[in-house]
Amino acid sequence: MSLAIQLRRHLHWILVMVAMFALASVVAVYITRQERLRWPWEHPTQIWAEFSEAQAITPGQGQTVDEAGVSVGEIGQVKLDNGIALVRLDITKKKDVGPIYQNATALLRPKTGLKDMSVALDPGIRTRRSPETASYTTAVASRSRTPPRT
């Protein structure tokens, strides 16, 4: 039999396989997005915040960074530097945050009674002495501090 006859005979099976492949691709993309996967071309804005303690802060567990109750990112890394907890905030929804000024503040807040923590971010206000941060790598908290050395 010729190829054209075989294709006509099995066209419906070929279409079923293509449809199943397309459906599997859509499901795979949906699942990976729900697992907080970042694509290689997505670069979150990284801000270092310092706290006197970072009890129950665990990077990679989906602990959020919130501004006015809206999730705008997640906690990326936690370090200890001379007795001060340094927490990297990965801002993934930069358009929802707007400008972040050098007088911004961050506050650790428990989400549940089991101390699931989130960071409440206040981007600060513009003053003559606190211009908008251009690189978004300045320390954020009640005390001013230079960004940590990596």
DSSP state of 67: E
pLDDT at 68: 85
Q: How far apart are CA 134 and CA 138, in angstroms?
A: 9
pLDDT of residue 56: 84
Quick one: pLDDT at residue 144? Answer: 35
Residue 19: predicted pLDDT: 97
pLDDT on residue 13: 93
Instruction: Note if the pTM is more than 0.75.
Output: no
Which pLDDT score is estimated for 132?
Answer: 52
Which residue reads 């665990």 in tokens? 58
Contacts of residue 31, Cβ cutoff 8 Å, sequence gap at least 6: none
> Residue 15's pLDDT is what?
95
In this prediction, residue 100 carries a pLDDT of 83
- Residues in the chain with pLDDT values less than 70: 129-150
